[in-house]
Chains A and B, each alone.
Chain A
Amino acid sequence: MSIRRWLPVLMLACAIPAASAQPTAPKQPPPPVVVSCEFLEITASAGTTPSVDPALDKLKKKFKKPPFSSWNVFKLDHSEQKSLTQKKLETITLKQGTVEAKLFGIVNKSQLRLSISLTVSDKNIVNTTATFEGGDYLVYGHSLPNNDGHLLALTCK
């Protein structure tokens, strides 16, 4: 058969794959997982007049329960909003020390797996790895020499 008869077919065969081919954009890695966490450094003490810093309203009810019920004055010393990127260690400087936080990842879409290391006055107090729901609080606490309490509350979303 003459090539003339196949010419339109050949042109179609070339045009269809060329037109239907997707533009080859460079394959990008998936966007990094980032969560926003709020770190609250709190000093708890016993005073004649109970008071809770207005910025701590969300924790006010918890402060009425042990182990916080030993104190009635809760003062916010430092507040910091920090974005945590997966597998990246972040350091938050507190009034009395530092916190190192590392996000390991998201679990079941609503939980995050996080490691926290709290150091106060150059002394490592506690290191944890926890999985908790976004919106819930983790509160780390220890007593100071003057029997005041030193708390670190954090929540992420």
Chain B
Amino acid sequence: MAARDDIELMQHADGELDDRAAADVDARLERDPDARKKADSLGQISELVRSHLELAADDVPQRSFDTIWRKVDREISPTPEEDTGPWARITGWLDRHRGHVITGAVSAGAVAALALLLRTPDDGTSAPVRSTAIDVQPAALRVAPEIESIDTPDGEGTVLNLEDEDGHTTVIWVSPADTVEGI
């Protein structure tokens, strides 16, 4: 019986009872202090729940409401421009995903800047043109010259190598073919 009475108290607190049942509960509350205490507690719980829901509603970001309202507006009165134009669709999509687009753009920009900063400057155009491609060695380190071929159409060729502290001097001496004596 007590459980049924408690349900009636809850229905009374929620305003769900008809007038006659509400009058019966009011009469019971006047004569029963325990029931009155339960009714007060139910009222406090209802207030608590309501306050919590109001606070939760306040925490919903404004942009969610904006999105909701845009959706509501679109469904209530769709404009031809919004539904048909490709540019409008693109801007609409960008508008709806603005947060993701901005995040991606900022990240990509940061990475691109970093990559540009770390990129080596070697582009193949800064190499100096070598006008002299030979490394002259100290005389002591030079190797003897090599005469690979010698052709003396009207004479005979003799190759001599004179070496001193200045390096090698190779002499290619051409004697006429009819010369009997040597050099």
Question: CB within 8 Å of B: which residues of A?
Answer: 4-5, 7-12, 14-16, 18-20, 22-23, 25, 27-28, 31, 33-36, 58-59, 61-62, 65-68, 83, 106, 109-113, 123-143, 156-157
Q: B38 within 8 Å of A by Cβ?
A: no
Q: Given the complex of chains A and B, what is the CA–CA distance between A15 and B133 in angstroms? A: 42
Q: Given the complex of chains A and B, what is the CA–CA distance between A123 and B177 in angstroms? A: 14
Closest CB in chain A relative to B183 CB, distance in Å: 4
Closest CB in chain A relative to B141 CB, distance in Å: 8
Instruction: Knowing A126-B151, A129-B148, say if A19 contacts B136 (CB, 8 Å).
Output: no
> Which one of B7-15, B44-52, B101-109 is at the A interface?
B101-109
Closest CB in chain A relative to B67 CB, distance in Å: 13
Identify 6 new A-B residue pairs, CB closer than 8 A, beyond the known A10-B104, A28-B125, A130-B170: A7-B100, A58-B166, A125-B152, A128-B172, A139-B172, A140-B174
Contact call B133/A8, Cβ cutoff below 8 A: no
Residues on B with C-beta less than 8 A from A124 are 153-154
Closest CB in chain A relative to B89 CB, distance in Å: 14
Residues on B with C-beta less than 8 A from A18 are 112
Contact call B111/A15, Cβ cutoff below 8 A: yes
Contact call A134/B183, Cβ cutoff below 8 A: no
Which chain B residues numbered 17 to 76 have a C-beta less than 8 Å away from chain A? none
Closest CB in chain B relative to A14 CB, distance in Å: 7
Q: Given the complex of chains A and B, what is the CA–CA distance between A66 and B167 in angstroms? A: 17
Residue from the list B129, B167, B175, B183 in contact with A135, Cβ < 8 A: B167
Contact call B124/A132, Cβ cutoff below 8 A: no
Instruction: Please count how many residues in chain B sit with their CB below 8 Å of the partner chain's CB atoms.
Output: 59
Residue from the list A7, A59, A128 in contact with B104, Cβ < 8 A: A7
Contact call A16/B125, Cβ cutoff below 8 A: no
16 pairs of residues in contact across A and B, judged by CB atoms under 8 Å:
A12-B108, A15-B108, A23-B123, A34-B133, A58-B166, A67-B160, A83-B131, A110-B142, A126-B152, A135-B167, A136-B145, A137-B169, A139-B172, A142-B175, A156-B134, A157-B136
Residue from the list A9, A61, A128 in contact with B150, Cβ < 8 A: A128
Nearest residue (CB) in A for B167 is A136
Q: Given the complex of chains A and B, what is the CA–CA distance between A9 and B129 in angstroms? A: 44
Q: Given the complex of chains A and B, what is the CA–CA distance between A134 and B180 in angstroms? A: 35
Contact call A22/B119, Cβ cutoff below 8 A: yes
Residues on B with C-beta less than 8 A from A7 are 97, 100-101, 103-104
Instruction: Knowing A35-B134, A129-B149, say if A16 contacts B111 (CB, 8 Å).
Output: yes
Residues on A with C-beta less than 8 A from B183 are 66-67
Which chain B residues numbered 88 to 136 have a C-beta less than 8 Å away from chain A? 97, 100-101, 103-105, 107-109, 111-116, 119, 123-125, 127, 129-136
Closest CB in chain A relative to B105 CB, distance in Å: 6
Contact call B166/A61, Cβ cutoff below 8 A: yes
Q: Given the complex of chains A and B, what is the CA–CA distance between A22 and B126 in angstroms? A: 14
